[in-house]
Amino acid sequence: MNLTNPDESPQVDALRETMIGKLREIGALRSDRVAEVFRAVPRHLFTPGAPLEKVYNPTDAVYVKRDEHGVTISTVSAPELQAFMLEQADLQPGMNALEIGSGGVNAAMMAWLVGPEGVVTTVDIDPDVAHRARGLLDAAGYSRVNVVLADAENGVPEHAPYDRIIVTVGAWDIPPAWVNQLAPGGRIVVPLRMRGLTRALALDRNGDHLVSRSAMICGFVKMRGTGAHQERVLPLRGEQIRLRFDDGGGRTIPASRTVCSTRSAPKCGRV
């Protein structure tokens, strides 16, 4: 499978440079290394069929799969979010890294950042998504990325310990396996939902506890499997507006715990 279309290269180059400029402007991209990885990994190879303008728009995710109710359960995340989380992760050559949630392109960027001496493993609970990621990574020249089909609740013990774990799906908690599979001094970047807001946190393992280094408000598709969390969703005005009660589920819910959301993934913002 060769997904490269030589005719679109000049257009891709222009779109990519514009995207990188905007990512710098909004502060998602701060280092030259992360800028370089966005140049080195052709993200359109991981989003076949999607319009290039969307693929290279800093704030657009590309949809990969919806469930039987039309709810998005897998995307290729927006460049803005990937850039910010790659900056948070600070991946260095030779590191061993785990990505939870597989779209292909982020794992490829991680592989570029850790270099040929490093190792990247990506895990997804969904067979379609894992299969898609494997095919696209191979076609783009990233066969050395390990793709694992599993519920990430238990991490991926066979390739641990990890210097870095990047969780690319909205989590309600940090399962013990993720912390146990971090090397001493290792870092986990995880979008954690707390009181109606999801924040991408960079947490360093320090002995028996985690220390927060940075945070950004963001939106992600929700965790499935063992770590899934029941929430109540109250549709208002048909499907136009939905009230989401994600904490507790009691009968009286304070306004501060309610979040209005639409079907599309919420936009990310910086704190």
Catalytic residues: 77
Is residue 241 classed as helix, strand or coil in its secondary structure? strand
For ligand SAM, the binding residue among 97, 223, 259, 268 (CB under 6 A) is 223
State which residue, 3 or 243, has the beta carbon closest to ligand SAM.
Answer: 3
Place of tokens 């803005």: 80
- 126 binds ligand SAM, rule: CB under 6 A: yes
Q: Which of 88, 168, 181, 198 binds ligand SAM (CB under 6 A)?
A: 168
Q: How far is the CB of 139 from ligand SAM (least distance, A)?
A: 15
Q: Kindly write out the interface string for residues 58-97 of this chain, putting x where it contacts ligand SAM by CB under 6 A and - elsewhere.
A: ---------------xxxxx--------------------
37 binding ligand SAM? (CB under 6 A): no
- Contact call for residues 189 and 200 (beta carbons, < 8 A): yes
Nearest to 108 by CA among 74, 63, 142, 58: 142
Coil, strand or helix: which one is 208?
coil
Distance CA 245, CA 2 (A): 45
Question: Residue 9 belongs to what H/E stretch?
Answer: helix 9-25
# residues contacting ligand SAM (CB under 6 A): 29
Residue 170's alpha-carbon distances to 52, 97, 120, in angstroms, are 26, 19, 20
- Pairing state between β 119-124 and 96-100: parallel
Phi-psi region of 94 (alpha: psi -120 to 50; beta: other; left: phi over 0): left
Interacting residue with ligand SAM among 227, 247, 259, 268 (CB under 6 A): 227
**57 makes contact with ligand SAM (CB under 6 A):** no
Binder of ligand SAM out of 28, 89, 125, 202 (CB under 6 A): 125
Q: Nearer Cβ to ligand SAM, position 257 or 267?
A: 267
Burial (CB < 10 A; 0-12, 13-18, 19+), residue 135, is: middle
Kindly state the smallest distance separating residue 212's Cβ from ligand SAM, in Å: 22
Site membership for ligand SAM, residue 224 (CB under 6 A)? yes
Provide, rounded to whole angstroms, the least separation between the CB of residue 210 and ligand SAM.
20
The footprint of ligand SAM (CB under 6 A) covers: 73-77, 99-106, 123-126, 129, 151-153, 168-169, 220-221, 223-225, 227
